[in-house]
Amino acid sequence: MIAQSGYPLTPTPFTAVTFTDGFWSPRLQTNRSVTLPFNFRKCEETGRINNFAKAAGWMEGKHEGIFYNDSDVFKVVEGAAYCLALTPDPALDSYLDDLIAKFAGAQEADGYLYTARTIDPTAVRADREGLTRWSNLRVNHELYNVGHLYEAAVAHFQATGKRTLLEIALKNADLIDAVFGPGKRRDVPGHQEIEIGLVKLYRVTGEERYLRLAKFFLDERGHANGRELYTNFGNPGYMQDHQPVVEQSEAVGHAVRAVYMYTGMADVAALTGDASYIAAIDRLWENVVGRKLYLTGGIGARHTGEAFGADYELPNAAAYAETCAAIANILWNQRMFLLHGDARYLDVLELSLYNGFLSGVSFSGTEFFYTNPLASDGATPVNRGSLGRQPWFDCSCCPTNDVRFLASLPGYVYASDADSLYVNLFVAGEARVEMGGQSVRLRQETNYPWEGRVRLRVDPALRAEFALRMRIPGWATNRPVPSDLYRFLDTNGDAPVLKINGETIAPPLEKGYAVLRRVWQPGDVVELVLPLLVRRVLCHPAVAENRGRVALMRGPLVYCVEGVDNPGGVADLSLADDAPLTAQHRPELLNGLTVIRGAGLTAIPYYAWSHRGSGEMAVWLQRGREG
């Protein structure tokens, strides 16, 4: 039996939601049929999978690649399990069985699993893998790798009912629990992730040792219990080991590590009720969203250390904004929503989803961005040494993260508690939500994000009273983000319109949701019309690079200008405050999208840039004087 999540709200499982829209559905299909096998093929070609066979003694040879490459294979397996849960695929199922056999062979007798050491314990280095187990946790990713193993194992068990991978994960977790903890080894992973995986093991087994171990790894940070606190790149907060987690209030250091930690803290807080954890992640969220968030929803300003910068340090061309960081931001904000039931977390999630994350995956599904800058001169490498998207990287955390996240995306659309059903994202399709002891079928029709009309048919199994909470996006109420970091230049007077069965209503708003409480009957229809207009965005004056500049949004989409559409170049493009702007849908352009046109200017959604060759790009334009 799967243990309760602990969160006040329960997300509707991705297996209960089907997309039929023209925006996300093709991407999920590409992810399953193209990106997933492509990732496995790359893991084979680069020796990532052979490393397990070598560790098992089934092949000769040295370890290939980086010592954390095991994690990439585990992430792709997680994505494959999600795909299996949605679509039966005997060939994929069999492939995973063979791969899991390699994992089992590579696992040492006591549960240890780390191919970089097992293949040849004499070939390890003190400054990388560590000369002995657990001796270089600051760097070696021993615990990070198996955190992804745990996530993959739970996904595979839930998708197939098979315990083969789960038993490997449990054996490893039992070893780590025997080694680490109060009265045992007092140390922490340099890269957070195992905390999330341990919570998933706890939920699927009900074994509280795993939850306690997750909390131990979090609580131990910032405490020098027989060790030195971890630093890197001259940054004392690089690994978030500079302070106890409950005392942290500023997001610092490696952005992915930090936000994985905040995500794990949210999970532990939900399950333990630790108010100090909730207070800490609330403070950290305010810091990120108020001072360290790119307009695209990306996070991580600095290439050095892949790190957050200082408050309001948000360079454009030099932005790091790693795709993995955007995914981490989505994971964290989903959990913040489940804790607090506030739509502002979904506003940030949606911004990251449509912009900071989506730009990282090509339309083909076989090329990726590692970094996602907000400006490019078309000549300076922006993507781990290259100009455009690449099919793979030596460190391929992003392509493998993409495949697991996209497969699970339908699970972010709806949520519920005993009394309310939450509609969080707008995607055409069907869902079955369990709430209040009965099943409610939903059918959503929309052409979002190109159009602002949403039609939702509500079919409870039996007529029942509950609150349907329809999210009203912040961008539809004159707020691009839930802070003063960005603001719209003008105020839109058009308010969202809601109807039930054709009758216009004015429901109360609570925490960003229109609350529609009534006795629902099969066939009831809710209609929401959002004012989808072109909006100019200004940045907080403390962000030096954006002073005197303006950006464009339409709905949840951030726009950019590319040299291919603006032959005069983009560096000197100026947009007057009163220059007319129009939206035009172009079904033939870049898989179909809506462009923004103005005098001497054409802008496309940011996610679509760099699909027509390398060239100039900018999100923030010079703000011209009114004509």
Per the CB < 8 A criterion, the answer to whether 439 and 411 are in contact is no
Please, which residues bridge with residue 503 across strands?
A: 500
Q: Give the pLDDT band (50/70/90) at residue 392.
A: very high
Regarding whether 68 and 193 lie in a shared domain, the answer is yes
Regarding whether 72 and 206 lie in a shared domain, the answer is yes
- Model pTM score: 0.97
Can you read off the two tokens belonging to residue 78?
A: 């997680």
Q: CA torsion, points 34, 37, 42, 48, in degrees to nearest 10?
A: 150
Residue 264 located in a structural domain: no
Q: Give the pLDDT band (50/70/90) at residue 387.
A: confident
Regarding whether 454 and 595 lie in a shared domain, the answer is no
At 382 the pLDDT is 81
At 1 the pLDDT is 27
- What residues are labeled active site? 306, 397
Query: If 0-12 CB within 10 Å is exposed, 13-18 middle and 19+ buried, where does residue 88 land?
Result: exposed
Residue 590 located in a structural domain: yes
CA distances to 64, 176, 264, 375 from 215, in Å: 33, 14, 9, 40
At 386 the pLDDT is 82
- pLDDT of residue 524 exceeding 50, the answer is yes
Residue 356 located in a structural domain: no
Instruction: Show the domain range for 546.
Output: 534-624
Domain end call among 185, 220, 255: 220
Residue 22 located in a structural domain: no
At 234 the pLDDT is 83
Mean pLDDT across 338-352: 98
Mean pLDDT across 306-314: 97
Mean pLDDT across 240-265: 98
Please, which residues bridge with residue 553 across strands?
A: 535, 558
Mean pLDDT across 155-169: 98
Q: Give the pLDDT band (50/70/90) at residue 419.
A: very high
Can you read off the two tokens belonging to residue 474?
A: 């912040």
Regarding whether 521 and 542 lie in a shared domain, the answer is no
Q: Give the pLDDT band (50/70/90) at residue 627.
A: very low
Regarding whether 513 and 441 lie in a shared domain, the answer is yes
Regarding whether 585 and 519 lie in a shared domain, the answer is no
Pairing of strands 17-19, 429-435: antiparallel
Alpha helices in 445-509 (DSSP H): none
- pLDDT of residue 612 exceeding 50, the answer is yes
Q: Give the pLDDT band (50/70/90) at residue 438.
A: confident
Q: Give the pLDDT band (50/70/90) at residue 625.
A: low
Distance CA 496, CA 465 (A): 24
Regarding whether 448 and 424 lie in a shared domain, the answer is yes
Regarding whether 523 and 545 lie in a shared domain, the answer is no
The residue whose two tokens read 């004499």 is: 122
- pLDDT of residue 268 exceeding 80, the answer is yes
- pLDDT of residue 279 exceeding 80, the answer is yes
- What percent of the chain clears pLDDT 90, i.e. is strictly above it? 93
Domain end call among 220, 243, 261: 220
Per the CB < 8 A criterion, the answer to whether 292 and 308 are in contact is yes
Alpha helices in 180-307 (DSSP H): 194-205, 208-219, 255-272, 275-291
- pLDDT of residue 235 exceeding 90, the answer is no
Closest listed residue to residue 300, CA positions, set 247, 360, 372 = 372
Domain end call among 174, 189, 220: 220
Mean pLDDT across 427-441: 93
At 614 the pLDDT is 87
Regarding whether 179 and 66 lie in a shared domain, the answer is yes
Residue 587 located in a structural domain: yes
Regarding whether 610 and 566 lie in a shared domain, the answer is yes
Distance CA 547, CA 85 (A): 48
| Order of strands, sheet of 464-471, starting from the edge strand that comes earlier in the sequence | 10-11, 414-416, 420-423, 464-471, 513-520, 509-510
At 599 the pLDDT is 83
At 3 the pLDDT is 39
**What is the CB neighbour count within 10 angstroms for residue 438?**
12
- Mean pLDDT over all residues of the chain? 96
Q: Give the pLDDT band (50/70/90) at residue 2.
A: very low
Residue 230 located in a structural domain: no
Q: Give the pLDDT band (50/70/90) at residue 572.
A: confident
Return the CATH number at 450.
2.60.420
Mean pLDDT across 495-509: 97
Residue 4 located in a structural domain: no
At 233 the pLDDT is 85
At 626 the pLDDT is 54
Q: Would the CA dihedral through 414, 36, 76, 360 be positive or negative?
A: negative
- What percent of the chain clears pLDDT 70, i.e. is strictly above it? 99
The total of structural domains in the chain comes to 3
Distance CA 77, CA 68 (A): 15
Can you read off the two tokens belonging to residue 515?
A: 């609350």
At 299 the pLDDT is 98
Which tens digits make up the pLDDT trace of 34-80? 999 999 999 999 999 999 999 999 999 999 999 999 999 999 999 99
Which tens digits make up the pLDDT trace of 541-566? 999 999 999 999 999 999 999 999 99
At 389 the pLDDT is 94
Per the CB < 8 A criterion, the answer to whether 607 and 559 are in contact is no
Regarding whether 125 and 55 lie in a shared domain, the answer is yes
At 345 the pLDDT is 98
Closest listed residue to residue 205, CA positions, set 166, 247, 156, 257 = 166
Regarding whether 197 and 138 lie in a shared domain, the answer is yes
At 381 the pLDDT is 86
